[in-house]
């Protein structure tokens, strides 16, 4: 009996000690984790817009986050958008806009939400709880980022995920104002190293750059090997000393502009997954942003983008 | 006797109620499924009006998470018996997503049955089987995920040992991962304690092993004699802790978790069996001295891993 | 085994060569095959294992007199799990990209046989200082093994080393493929065995 008590006490003590150590570490790292993740996303976004260590971002560049929700009330469904907009007081703030499924403007509310708080899902939920009808439920769907220089829209950034060959692939796509592809960044994937894992390589990702919206709608994967000059061009894209003269670059760009995506060797399924994923993301976004712009004009919402 | 008659009529009444209720089931659309890459087939409970059915504007199709984006319908075709309807879409369907089909103002035998909607998705059973086969063959934990290697090489010298280890392991992993799934979903996640997952899962695994040990010793001493020795080794196997971690990372429900755990266990059993069959024969082979024992076993495992790569990309459902 | 009589340096060398966890003891093979596709991955996991091994060894050596013999193994597990959680949280917070590349393997350190084995064989019988050096030796031995495998696989498979292009072409894509890890570990083990037989033969001839 004495033994058992001693063992129990010893185990409890060690568990408590372990809990203390882990708890302390968690408290110390939680903030840093959030901060670093945020920083990473920020860097990815700037990178996609063409900014980097050599080319710092313009000071007037602004990234506006628009959060989309699906609102369910009884049996009806609506789309809810949380947008940065000019409030009644004149200052910048967040506005909640509801559209019906056809895209007609229904309703607007001003939210007590600062841009910093809007980054956290919990704070957004709290702000929403105050204005939704009782019984209505808002499910977060996705976020899109609209990059503006001054009051001109320069680009759209779409984070998204789609099924890959093994698990989900998380990616971010950048579009210019005419929905032409500016770039693609693979953020997270679990494809096989050396095969599907090559989707993170420049020579694959950069094939998407410059595809027009019309081309993108019907983009497919072809199994032909990548031509050597094209591969060199893709790899050197964005580098200073690419080894190609300007006319050569322009020539290659022109020649392969309407080319479909060359599949990676031994990873056709991964390549097709990325192509289809990007295609679906862009198509849905292009439809939604046009509907949203129309609705915002109808509802006379003064958005910041 | 009177009692029996009463009971009989009660039963009849219940059956009749159910019958009528069944007949007037609110949904006239009996089934909906994907066909080929761009078609959805609806099956109705009775014949529908061809004039109504042939008009594409009576139907809308959307992916369930995107109710605001309607997909374009290219054509609608009704079968000769007027109860099967094929919707062909302009673009290929993303069949991994459930789709919602709404049929407006269904007309059948001159009667208007109102608007009805139905969800189309891949058969769930097929999804479960694909998880099982995925863990068993395509993503075999030993040959494609390289987990549990220490125990794998340690116990694959003889077929009998290998099978014993595999069976014991399958039992333990199914129990342990179901328990940790419950604990994670109902305690760790709601209270935001998921940073404690490692310590909790390893504790649970040891607990399961201890419990199996105690129970088996009492209930079936013969079986305990056969499998007891492997129980200790189970804790040293990474797979047993990897499966709960994978379950925690992915949002699987209980049945899906069960399938993954079962696939992992059976996959380990399969790997052990294959490997031990080869190693029993290797004993008679003339292997260079430096390669005797583990090195040659590794090379055999490499060959197995190569052949298991052939399963990758396989999809059954 | 009684308390060790080896010097600190001998303990470290022991972990690096004579009792190299990967090639000699053949423990913790899972990461050796799974994560050694690049040098950077191998090194980082090596650092994590070094950290867990050293801290666990020291903890156990520190409290060895207070551990009740019947709960020896649970205490080891608890200690290891604690330190693994710590390094897991730290890596996830400060090196998110590399952490994601290693996937589940950081959390799986908790099941690496090498760490429990060193606690059982060494730390519970020796002083804190000796356990520290033994932990360092084992950790570096693991790191060395991972880095070697990683280097061969990265150079042969991708033509790069630590991410820098060294060859300019890809000699054999095969080496980054999963199966190649098994082959390579097998070859390396055979090589260690061969060197050992040569060494023993020479030693015998010398005497």
E strands present in A150-202: 152-163, 168-176, 181-188
Specify the pLDDT at position B22. 44
User: pLDDT class for C86, splitting at 50, 70, 90?
Assistant: very high
- Residue whose structure tokens are 């031509």: A227
The whole-angstrom distance between A238's CA and the closest CA on chain C is 18
What pLDDT score was predicted for residue B25?
A: 46
Phi and psi at residue B42, in whole multiples of 5°? -105, 135
Q: Where are the alpha helices (DSSP H) in A183-267?
A: 202-205, 213-217, 228-236, 246-256
Mean pLDDT, chain B, rounded, equals 83
Q: What is the pLDDT of residue B15?
A: 66
pLDDT at position B23 over 50: no
pLDDT of res. B26: 59
Partner chains of A (3+ C-beta pairs under 8 Å): B, C
pLDDT band at B317 (very low <50, low <70, confident <90, very high): low
Which residue from A157, A9, A266 is spatially nearest to C173, judged by alpha carbons? A266
Residue B313: the pLDDT is 67
**Residues of chain A with pLDDT > 70: what percent?**
98
> At A139, is the pLDDT very low, low, confident or very high (cuts 50, 70, 90)?
confident
Q: Which of A18, A141, A167 sits opposite B65 (nearest CB)?
A: A141
Overall average pLDDT of the A192-219 stretch: 84
Chain A residues in contact with B195 by the CB 8 A cut-off are 22, 26
Give pLDDT, residue B18.
Answer: 54
Percent pLDDT > 70 in chain C is: 97
pLDDT interval class at C4 (50, 70, 90): low
Q: Flag if C190 and B302 touch (Cβ within 8 Å).
A: no
Least confident of A98-107, A205-214, A254-263, B10-19: B10-19
C197 and B290: CB-CB below 8 Å?
yes
Mean pLDDT calculated for residue range C73-84: 88
Interface contact B147-C30, CB threshold 8 A: yes
Q: Name the helix (H) or strand (E) containing B4.
A: helix B2-23
- Cβ–Cβ contact C108 with B under 8 A: yes
Report the neighbours of C using a cutoff of 3 or more CB pairs below 8 angstroms: A, B
- For residue C107 the two structure tokens come to 């959390």
pLDDT of residue B270: 94
Contact between A162 and A269 under an 8 Å Cβ cutoff? The reply is no
Give C152 or A91, the one with higher predicted confidence.
Answer: C152
Is A194 within 8 Å of C97 when comparing Cβ atoms?
Answer: no
Q: Give B69's contacts in chain A (Cβ within 8 Å).
A: 284, 287-288
Which positions ≥6 away from A249 have C-beta within 8 Å?
A233, A242
Instruction: Name which residue leads in pLDDT, A172 or C70.
Output: A172
**Helix ranges (DSSP H) in B221-315:** 221-235, 238-249, 254-282, 294-308
Which B positions 191-210 lie with beta carbon below 8 A of chain A? Answer: 195-196, 199
The confidence score (pLDDT) of residue B264 equals: 93
| CB contacts, 8 Å: B299 with chain C | 182-183, 186-187
Is the CB of A165 less than 8 angstroms away from the CB of B313?
yes
* Residue C180 neighbours by CB distance under 10 Å: 25
Give C-chain residues touching B242 at CB under 8 angstroms.
104, 108, 111
Q: Do B94 and A280 touch (CB under 8 A)?
A: yes
Task: Please give the average per-residue pLDDT across C8-15, as a whole number.
Answer: 80
Kindly indicate the confidence band of residue B16, based on its pLDDT and cuts at 50, 70 and 90. low
- pLDDT (0 to 100) of residue B150: 81
At B21 the pLDDT is 46
**Contact criterion met (CB below 8 Å) for B99 and B118:** no
The full DSSP string for chain C is --S----HHHHHHIIIIIT-TTTTS---HHHHHHTTTSHHHHHHHHHHHHHHHHHHHHHHHHHGGGS-GGGHHHHHHHHHHHHHHHHHHHHHHH-HHHHHHHTTHHHHGGG-HHHHHHIIIIITTS-HHHHHHHHHHHHHHHHHHHHHHHHHHHHHHHSEETTEESSSS-S-GGGGSHHHHHHHHHHHHHHHHHHHHHHHHHHHHH-
Does C90 sit within 8 Å of A25, measured CB to CB?
yes
pLDDT higher than threshold 60 for residue B204: yes
CB-CB contact of A291 with A99 (8 Å): yes
- The per-residue pLDDT for range A147-201, each reduced to its tens digit, is 888 778 888 999 988 888 877 889 999 998 888 888 898 988 888 777 788 888 8
- Residue A233 Cα, gap to closest chain B Cα (Å): 31
- In terms of average pLDDT, the best of A202-206, A289-293, B115-119, B274-278 is B274-278
A9 touches chain B (CB under 8 A): no
Is pLDDT at C118 greater than 70 in this prediction? yes
pLDDT band at B303 (very low <50, low <70, confident <90, very high): very high
Interface test with A, best of B60, B61, B68 (most A CBs within 10 A): B68
- Which pLDDT value is given to residue B181? 92
Residues of chain C in contact with residue A25, where contact means CB-CB under 8 angstroms, are 85-86, 89-90
B86-114 confidence digits (pLDDT tens): 888 888 888 878 888 888 888 887 778 88
Q: Looking at beta carbons, which residues of chain B come within 8 Å of A280?
A: 94
> In chain B, pLDDT over 70 holds for what percent of residues?
92
As given in the structure block, the two tokens for residue C184 are 């390579």
The residue with greater pLDDT, A188 or B272, is: B272
Chain B contacts in chain A segment 234-273 (CB below 8 A)? 269
Q: Supply C5's token pair.
A: 């009589």
Query: What local confidence, expressed as pLDDT, does residue B300 receive?
Result: 92
Nearest to C71 among A11, A26, A30 (CB): A11
CB contact under 8 A, A36 and C157: no
Q: Which chain B residues have a beta carbon less than 8 Å from that of C187? A: 295, 299
What mean pLDDT do residues C142-162 have? 85
A52 touches chain B (CB under 8 A): no
Q: What is the mean pLDDT of residues C20-47?
A: 81
What mean pLDDT comes out for the span B148-155?
84
Instruction: Report the distance separating Cα A111 and Cα A282, nearest Å.
Output: 29
Which A positions 161-190 lie with beta carbon below 8 A of chain B?
163, 165-167
Chain C partners within 8 Å of B309 (Cβ): 177-179
Q: Which residues from chain B sit within 8 angstroms of residue A77, using beta carbons?
A: 67
Judge whether B298 is closer than 8 Å to chain C, CB to CB. Answer: yes
C-interface mutation test, from B140, B298, B308, most C Cβ less than 10 A away: B298
Question: Residue C78 is nearest to which of A18, A192, A194, comparing CB atoms?
Answer: A18
Residue with tokens 């060294």: C166
**B46-53 average pLDDT score:** 83
């Amino acid at each position: 009996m004495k033994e058992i008590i001693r063992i129990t006490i010893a185990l409890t003590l060690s568990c408590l000690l372990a809990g203390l150590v882990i708890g302390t570490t968690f408290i110390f790292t939680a903030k840093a984790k959030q901060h670093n993740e945020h920083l990473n996303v920020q860097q990815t976004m700037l990178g996609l817009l063409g900014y980097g260590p050599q080319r710092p971002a313009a000071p007037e560049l602004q990234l506006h986050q628009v959060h989309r929700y699906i609102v369910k009330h009884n049996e009806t469904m609506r789309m809810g958008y949380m947008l940065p907009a000019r409030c009644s007081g004149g200052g910048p703030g967040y506005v909640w806009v509801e559209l019906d499924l056809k895209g007609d403007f229904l309703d607007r509310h001003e939210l007590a939400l600062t841009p910093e708080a809007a980054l956290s899902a919990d704070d957004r939920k709290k702000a929403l709880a105050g204005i939704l009808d009782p019984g209505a439920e808002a499910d977060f769907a996705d976020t899109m980022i609209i990059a503006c220089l001054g009051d001109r829209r320069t680009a759209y950034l779409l984070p998204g995920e789609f099924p890959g060959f093994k698990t989900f692939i998380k990616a971010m796509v950048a579009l210019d104002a005419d929905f032409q592809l500016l770039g693609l960044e693979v953020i997270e994937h679990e494809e096989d190293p050396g095969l599907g894992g090559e989707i993170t390589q420049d020579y694959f990702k950069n094939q998407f750059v410059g595809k027009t919206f019309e081309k993108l709608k019907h983009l497919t994967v072809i199994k032909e090997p990548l031509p050597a000059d094209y591969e060199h061009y893709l790899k050197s894209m964005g580098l200073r000393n690419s080894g190609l003269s300007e006319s050569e670059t322009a020539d290659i760009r022109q020649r392969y502009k309407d080319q479909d995506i060359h599949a990676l060797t031994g990873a056709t399924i991964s390549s097709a997954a990325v192509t289809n994923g990007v295609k679906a993301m862009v198509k849905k976004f292009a439809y939604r942003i046009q509907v949203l712009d129309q609705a915002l004009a109808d509802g006379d919402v003064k958005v910041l983008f | 006797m009177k009692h029996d008659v009463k009971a009989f009529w009660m039963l009849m009444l219940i059956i009749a109620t159910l019958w009528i209720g069944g007949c007037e089931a609110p949904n006239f659309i009996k089934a909906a499924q994907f066909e080929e890459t761009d078609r959805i087939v609806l099956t109705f409970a009775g014949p529908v009006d061809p004039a109504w059915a042939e008009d594409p504007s009576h139907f809308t199709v959307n992916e369930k998470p995107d109710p605001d984006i309607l997909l374009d319908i290219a054509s609608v075709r009704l079968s000769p018996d007027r109860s099967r309807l094929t919707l062909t879409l302009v673009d290929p369907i993303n069949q991994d997503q459930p789709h919602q089909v709404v049929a407006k103002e269904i007309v059948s035998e001159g009667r208007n049955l109102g608007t009805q909607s139905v969800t189309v998705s891949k058969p769930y059973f097929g999804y479960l089987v694909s998880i099982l086969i995925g863990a068993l063959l395509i993503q075999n934990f030993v040959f494609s995920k390289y987990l549990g290697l220490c125990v794998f090489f340690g116990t694959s010298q003889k077929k009998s040992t290998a099978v014993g280890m595999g069976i014991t392991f399958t039992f333990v992993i199914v129990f342990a991962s179901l328990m940790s799934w419950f604990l994670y979903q109902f305690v760790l996640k709601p209270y935001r304690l998921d940073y404690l997952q490692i310590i909790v899962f390893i504790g649970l695994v040891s607990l399961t092993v201890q419990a199996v040990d105690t129970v088996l010793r009492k209930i079936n001493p013969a079986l305990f004699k056969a499998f007891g020795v492997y129980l200790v080794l189970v804790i040293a196997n990474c797979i047993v802790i990897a499966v709960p971690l994978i379950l925690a990372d992915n949002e699987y429900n209980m049945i899906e978790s069960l399938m993954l755990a079962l696939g992992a266990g059976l996959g380990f059993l399969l790997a052990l069996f294959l490997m031990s069959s080869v190693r029993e024969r290797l004993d008679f082979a003339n292997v260079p001295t430096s390669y005797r024992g583990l090195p040659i076993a590794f090379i055999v495992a490499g060959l197995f891993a190569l052949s298991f790569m052939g399963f990758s990309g396989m999809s059954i459902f | 085994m009684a308390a060790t009589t080896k010097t600190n340096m001998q303990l470290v060398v022991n972990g690096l060569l004579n009792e190299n966890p990967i090639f000699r003891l053949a423990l913790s093979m899972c990461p050796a095959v799974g994560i050694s596709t690049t040098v950077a991955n191998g090194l980082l996991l090596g650092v994590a294992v070094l950290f867990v091994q050293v801290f666990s060894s020291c903890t156990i050596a520190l409290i060895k007199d207070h551990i009740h013999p019947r709960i020896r193994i649970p205490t080891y597990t608890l200690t290891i799990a604690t330190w693994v959680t710590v390094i897991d949280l730290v890596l996830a917070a400060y090196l998110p990209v590399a952490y994601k590349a290693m996937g589940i393997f950081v959390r799986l350190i908790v099941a690496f046989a090498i760490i429990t084995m060193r606690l059982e064989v060494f730390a519970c019988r020796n002083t804190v200082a000796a356990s520290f050096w033994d932990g360092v030796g084992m950790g570096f031995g693991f790191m060395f093994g991972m880095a070697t495998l990683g280097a061969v696989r990265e150079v042969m498979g991708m033509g790069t080393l630590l991410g820098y292009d060294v060859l300019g072409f890809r000699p054999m894509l095969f080496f980054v493929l999963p199966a190649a890890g098994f082959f390579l570990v097998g070859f390396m083990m055979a090589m260690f065995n061969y060197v050992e037989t040569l060494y023993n033969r020479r030693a015998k001839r010398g005497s």
